[in-house]
Amino acid sequence: MDSLSYWKQMGWGISALHLSPFVFLLFCTAAAPFIPYVSRWWESMLNKFLLSAACAVAGVILYLRPTADWARVMNTYLDYLAFLALVGSLFTVAGGIRITGAFAGLPYINTLFLGVSAILSSLLGTTGASMVLIRPLLRANQLRRHKAHVVVFFIFIVSNCGGLLTPLGDPPLYLGFLRGVPFFWTFRLIPVWSLTLLILLFVFHLIDDKIFDGEETHIRGSLIQAVTEAEQPIHLEGWMNVFCLLGILATVLGTGYFLNPFLETHAGPWGETVSKLFQVIVMGLIALLSHKKTPPSIHEENQFDFAPLKEVAVLFFGIFGSMIPALTLLGAKGEALALNHPWQYFWLSGILSSFLDNAPTYLSYAALAAGQAGLPTDHLGELARNAPNLLAAVSCGSVLMGANSYIGNGPNFMVRAIAESARVKMPSFGGYMLWSGAVLIPIFILMTFIFF
């Protein structure tokens, strides 16, 4: 019996065993911070690493036992290094950019700020843009009594929906790029991206304008005076990091469209490995240059440290290893699941992304879509060419619906923590979901009828 037949004929009980490390790690990531006693244990980075490493080892062993396919394991962790290089370089570069100036939180300024920030999310990444832009937005609104809604919409727009435009914007899309989806393929999502953001910005402006009208007269007067008297409304510090950002973009495009084809022709099967290692080294050097050359004052003002990046590195080490048997099963058994329409992939990937990390969710459902279409599950370029509507549905569901809860996407919880440290009374977990249910779900229903 060959390897593929083994996975296809595997019983559902054994299949559940092969899925268990992946599911268990995702459950811990989502639930551990909220379980009494467990949450304190979970705060230790060492404990997270031990659990993550255990799940990775379990996943790799469960995959290797029937296949002995070490090449798949090595390629997966090469993807991990490339993924971490992109996230880490964008995070480091974003930490060296600071926006200052005397601009105030009037409704039209807040709306304009969120609109520009949404575009930057696709360039800096949702994590990078969130870390750079949340603090100036909080400073602009510090005089206002009611501002939690501003942060909630910031999470909707900047920490999630804005990242749909390019593979740099959100980790799921970059993982797709690493697995063969062309860099500019995501531009086909511009209609979804544009309509979603336009509706969100319109709704935000209506709500913010109504709340602003209810503020005390002296608060409204102070905000208007701050805008009137500002000689330099917005000032950007750390321009060198803008060029570092362009260097990251050039590296991604250059490897995808020039280096990869050259190496495939001249280096054979080693071409992909050399290309990914090249990206890792170049992005690492860019991040090192950014960190060394950024003035310490900017890092201090941004309260920059590597703790969030360390957590991403630790958790994704386990996710990448434990998802190998999970993705293999989805590819082998995809035809047995009754998922045939884009809207099904949009909502199922979205619901899972609402409470679990959206990067493995994207890979899981993209692999499922490829498996059902009889296409390779480890090279999503075939899915992008032959079933683009399915991949578009998975991409949109994974990215957009990460905004449905605080734990749907990494930046969500980070933004909430920064806002609360600035003495903004944020909604509870359930309170936030009331906001997302009232604002986002109707938009996603509309997107379903229009696009999926």
- 77-104 pLDDT, tens digit per residue, is 888 888 888 878 878 887 888 777 656 6
Q: Which two tokens stand for residue 32?
A: 């551990």
* Domain, as residue range, for 260: 20-323
At 103 the pLDDT is 66
The amino acid at residue 395 is S
Over residues 341-346, the mean pLDDT reads 90
Q: What is the pLDDT averaged over residues 377-394?
A: 86
State the pLDDT confidence band at 160, using cuts at 50, 70 and 90: very high
The verdict on residue 437 lying in a domain is no
Share of the chain above pLDDT 70, in %: 87
Helices (H) and strands (E) in the chain, counts: 22, 2
pLDDT at 190: 94
Write out the E strands in 220-327: 235-237
Q: Mean pLDDT, the chain, as a whole number?
A: 82
Residue 27 is assigned to a structural domain of this protein: yes
pLDDT, position 207: 93
Whether residue 34 lies inside any domain: the answer is yes
Q: Does 197 map to a domain?
A: yes
Phi-psi region of 102 (alpha: psi -120 to 50; beta: other; left: phi over 0): beta
Give the pLDDT confidence score for residue 176 in this predicted structure. 85
- Residue 361 covered by a domain: no
Contact indicator for 17, 62 with CB cutoff of 8 Å: yes
With a CB cutoff of 8 Å and minimum separation 6, the contacts of 434 are: 427
- Tell whether the model's pLDDT for residue 27 goes beyond 50: yes
pLDDT reading at 166 higher than 70: yes
> Residue 413 domain-assigned?
no
pLDDT reported for residue 29: 75
DSSP designation for 47: H
Higher pLDDT, 254 or 105: 254
Give the model's pLDDT for residue 438: 94
* C-alpha dist (Å) from residue 212 to 102, 198, 228, 236, 424: 19, 21, 18, 27, 16
For residue 401, give the 3-state DSSP assignment.
helix
Question: Predicted confidence band at 180 (pLDDT cuts at 50, 70, 90)?
Answer: confident
pLDDT at 286 over 90: yes
* Structural tokens at position 210: 């109504």
Q: How far apart are CA 414 and CA 20, in angstroms?
A: 28
User: Is pLDDT at 294 greater than 80 in this prediction?
Assistant: yes
The stretch 329-354 carries a mean pLDDT of 78
Contact 309, 88 (CB under 8 A): yes
Residue 1's pLDDT is 44
Instruction: Please report how the helices 429-451 and 388-400 are oriented relative to each other, as an axis angle in degrees rounded to 10.
Output: 160
CB-neighbour burial class of residue 31 (10 A; exposed 0-12, middle 13-18, buried 19+): middle
Q: Which long-range contacts (CB under 8 A, 24 or more apart) does 133-136 make?
A: 133/99, 133/158, 134/158, 134/415, 134/418, 134/419, 135/302, 135/303, 135/418, 135/422, 136/99, 136/100, 136/101, 136/103
User: Residue holding tokens 């499922």?
Assistant: 368
Section 343-367 average pLDDT: 82
* Pick from 290, 289, 311, 288: nearest CA to 302: 290
The residues, ordered by sequence, that sit 6+ positions from 9 with a Cβ below 8 Å of its Cβ are 1
447 within domain boundaries: no
What's the structural domain count of the chain? 1
Does 422 map to a domain? no
> Does position 195 have pLDDT exceeding 80, yes or no?
yes
More confident residue, 420 or 111: 111
